[in-house]
Amino acid sequence: MRVVDIHVHVQPWEQLLAPVAEVLRERRSDRDLVERCIRDPQAFAALLDAQGIARVGLINYPAQDLMGFDERTNDFVAAYRDSLPDRIVAFGGMHPRLVQDPRREMRRLLHELKLDGIKVHPPHQLVRANAYTEGLEALRVLYAECEAARVPVMIHTGTSVFPGARGKYGDPIDADDVAVDFPELRIILAHAGRPLWMETTVHLARRHPHVYLDLSGIPPKSLLEYLPKLESLAGKCLFGTDWPSPGVRSIKENVDAVLGLPLSENAKKQILSGTADLLFPPR
């Protein structure tokens, strides 16, 4: 079965702040493999081939003050995508609190780098997803430019394990404003609000025609506990793993676990690739 993992973190680890690097490196026994994949797209392609993965979304975004990643992460992911154009969906971002010229930066991301998606990470960027309603105009620019360019926006929902992250910003109800104010914007709620707000994300996916759920960060064997009505939501769901985050041993293990769930074959196809291919048509 064709598989698209929409949520993988191949990022420039050399930018990481020391406490964040410790969380990532110390909790992975295969960190040499991970770092080799970061340096060499062909090594990553070989790993994907070995695990039967057609495409992946590489999630990058600036979070200078909390994670260490700055705007250069956008150039990293665009170049990485360009080396594997048929395998990579490139997500970048803009730090809405720290950017100097938001409109110029968004046009660089969307029209020069031609990123496939934009990531907003409220718990790491320390800003609510709807902060434009309280005067943060950079965030309004981000959503408006993506809506106009028909580029999906992924919003982190739920908690984070990294030092300094603030879980209060992960409440997905803030994305309700975004969906109302930017009705043509494709919005992906990363992690489906786990572990606190799954019911909220399901409500938003049902209420808004262009709101989708990314299932990464949820152990696949527990998906039906988190999302009991997953069968009926399959057309709004995208498979993701969050690899190489702590606790995710391999993409293939998660795929096998999804295939073992008591879901219809059609639902599995939609989750594993159908929804992703609809939002990000293969090149």
What CATH number is associated with residue 35? 3.20.20.140
pLDDT value at residue 246: 79
CA 53 to mean position of chain CA atoms: 17
Asked if 4 and 48 touch (Cβ cutoff 8 Å), the reply is: no
pLDDT value at residue 145: 98
pLDDT value at residue 140: 98
CA 276 to mean position of chain CA atoms: 12
Q: What does each of the 283 residues of the chain score in pLDDT, given as a tens digit?
A: 999 999 999 999 999 999 999 888 777 888 899 999 999 999 999 999 999 999 999 999 999 999 999 999 999 999 999 999 999 999 999 999 999 999 999 999 999 999 999 999 999 999 999 999 999 999 999 999 999 999 999 999 999 989 999 999 999 999 999 999 999 999 999 999 999 999 999 999 999 999 999 999 999 999 999 999 999 999 999 999 999 987 898 999 999 999 999 999 999 999 999 999 999 999 8
Which SS3 state, helix, strand or coil, does residue 55 take?
strand
Give the structural domain span for 81.
Answer: 4-279
Cα separation, 176 vs 209, in Å, equals 12
What are φ and ψ of residue 90, in 5° steps? -95, 115
Q: Is 243 exposed, middle or buried (0-12, 13-18, 19+ CB in 10 A)?
A: buried
One-character DSSP codes across 219-277: -GGGHHHH-TTHHHHGGGEE----TTSTT---HHHHHHHHHTSS--HHHHHIIIIIHHH
Instruction: Give the number of domains in the chain.
Output: 1
Cis before 244 (ω within 30): yes
pTM: 0.97
The closest alpha carbon to 53, from 216, 271, 272, belongs to 272
pLDDT value at residue 27: 76
